[in-house]
Amino acid sequence: MEGYSVHAMRPAHIADMLAEDRYTQPALCGECHSLTLHGPDGLALLEQDTYGEWRKGPFGDEGVEPGGTVRPCVSCHMPKIEYPDRPGPREASHRFLGASTHLSALAADAERLDDLTRFLKSADIELGLAARLRPSLAEGSRIVDATVAIRNRGVGHGFPTGALDLNEAWVVLEVRDAVNRTLWSSSPGSEESATAPQGIRLRRVFRDRDGRAILDHDILSAVGHLEDLAVPAGARVERRLEIPIAADVVPPLEVRGRLEHRGINRAFARLALGEPLPELPVTVIAEHAVSVAAEAEGGQPEESRPRAASGGGDGGVVVSSQPRDGDDRRSPQ
């Protein structure tokens, strides 16, 4: 399909069209990539807002720092590429690589799935971990105090984005002992339950009028959120966990984390596709492991790439915006 319409037109007409800058304006994309649900009683619920996320972030026209460069949507999603069958200037790709790995898998389009996976993995997102062992009040057990942080450096908007009740990302955490046995692991994101597992889960769960979770994308019944967490562009989210561990485990212990993404949640997939559920691809975006510090040592989250990291956070999820450039990587405390 690519270039199909272009071929049917006269070169001068194509040149005229391409000279118009409205095609590169993010406001054009924002016409569709921002959606508010309006309901009775003045209800206005944001269903998706990739455009708004972009505007407020370090790549957008509102959030860009003085002297910084705005990066329009097309700079990432429509890069200039060469078309081997059409010699001449490079043309903007119309493949719109994003995050819908499930669609390519269902269409058995291995090439696009590959490209999408590469695109997702190239997003500059870091996983940070810190862990410290401490005594527990419960006899025969100890606690691993773990801090998990996700930093969105390079995605032009939130991660994930789009319909956040369908797209989801999460961190799988594991505690291992010296002989590589898994002592504890957080539930993976495959659970459909509305209750968040221990760990970080990036997604939105709408609620209906009775307070029940809507997991099947029945957005017209939504009146609010039960969960709503994504990592804004340029920002970092952090959560602290207390993981109970038997007292007689063999140190040193290690905490491993894996940030994973899936283009569609399983409850909706089941509704749309029925049983047996086809395999829905999960993309590993970042991985990291740290050894668990002994009781006396400190625990600053260490990023998956060596950089000065920040501490802080008093339980729950903390979202902080980040200095966007330069050498000062410390987050505001």
| Residue 174 burial (CB count, 10 A) | 16
Of 83 and 96, nearer to ligand HEC (C-beta) is 96
Enumerate residues 44-63 that contact ligand HEC by CB under 6 A: 50-51, 54, 59
Of 213 and 230, nearer to ligand HEC (C-beta) is 230
Of 73 and 133, nearer to ligand HEC (C-beta) is 73
Q: What is the smallest separation between the CB atom of 19 and ligand HEC, expressed in angstroms?
A: 16
Of 28 and 226, nearer to ligand HEC (C-beta) is 28
The contact mask relative to ligand HEC for 173-212 (x = CB under 6 A, - = no) is ----------------------------------------
Q: How many residues bind ligand HEC (CB under 6 A)?
A: 36
> ∠ CA(208), CA(212), CA(215), 5° rounding?
85
Of 166 and 245, nearer to ligand HEC (C-beta) is 166
Sign of the alpha-carbon torsion through 272, 273, 274, 275: negative
* Single residue of 6, 14, 18, 28 touching ligand HEC by CB under 6 A: 28
Q: What is the smallest separation between the CB atom of 221 and ligand HEC, expressed in angstroms?
A: 19
Q: What is the smallest separation between the CB atom of 25 and ligand HEC, expressed in angstroms?
A: 8
Burial class (CB in 10 A: 0-12, 13-18, 19+), 217: middle
Of 160 and 257, nearer to ligand HEC (C-beta) is 160
Enumerate residues 85-104 that contact ligand HEC by CB under 6 A: 96-100
* Single residue of 56, 58, 73, 148 touching ligand HEC by CB under 6 A: 73
Of 142 and 153, nearer to ligand HEC (C-beta) is 153
The answer to whether the CB of 257 falls within 8 A of the CB of 289 is: yes
Q: What is the smallest separation between the CB atom of 278 and ligand HEC, expressed in angstroms?
A: 17
The CA distances from residue 107 to 112, 264, 276, 278, in Å, are 10, 15, 17, 11
User: Integer distance in angstroms from the first to the last C-alpha of the chain?
Assistant: 51
Q: In this chain, which stretch among 4-12, 115-123, 188-196, 311-319 interacts with ligand HEC, using CB under 6 A?
A: 115-123
Q: In this chain, which stretch among 28-36, 189-197, 299-307, 320-328 interacts with ligand HEC, using CB under 6 A?
A: 28-36
Enumerate residues 119-178 that contact ligand HEC by CB under 6 A: 120, 123, 154-157, 159-163, 167
Q: Which residues of 152-167 are buried (b: 16+ CB within 10 A; e: fewer)?
A: bbbbbbbbbbbbbbbb
User: Can you tell me the distance from the alpha carbon of 186 to that of 176, in angstroms, rounded to the nearest whole number?
Assistant: 12
Contacts of 73 by beta carbon, 8 Å cutoff, 6+ apart: 26, 29, 33, 54, 156
Collapsed DSSP state (helix, strand, coil) of residue 7: helix
* Single residue of 74, 205, 253, 259 touching ligand HEC by CB under 6 A: 74
Q: Does 268 bind ligand HEC (CB under 6 A)?
A: no
Phi/psi at 166 (nearest 5 deg)?
Answer: -110, -50
User: Can you tell me the distance from the alpha carbon of 193 to that of 324, in angstroms, rounded to the nearest whole number?
Assistant: 36
Q: What is the DSSP-derived secondary structure letter of residue 322?
A: -
User: Can you tell me the distance from the alpha carbon of 72 to that of 78, in angstroms, rounded to the nearest whole number?
Assistant: 10
* Single residue of 29, 113, 130, 202 touching ligand HEC by CB under 6 A: 29
User: Can you tell me the distance from the alpha carbon of 156 to that of 30, in angstroms, rounded to the nearest whole number?
Assistant: 13
Q: Which of 38, 64, 88 is nearest to 219 (CA)?
A: 38
| Residue 189 burial (CB count, 10 A) | 23
Q: What is the smallest separation between the CB atom of 157 and ligand HEC, expressed in angstroms?
A: 5
For binding to ligand HEC (CB under 6 A), which residues are involved?
26, 28-33, 50-51, 54, 59, 71, 73-77, 96-100, 116, 120, 123, 154-157, 159-163, 167, 263
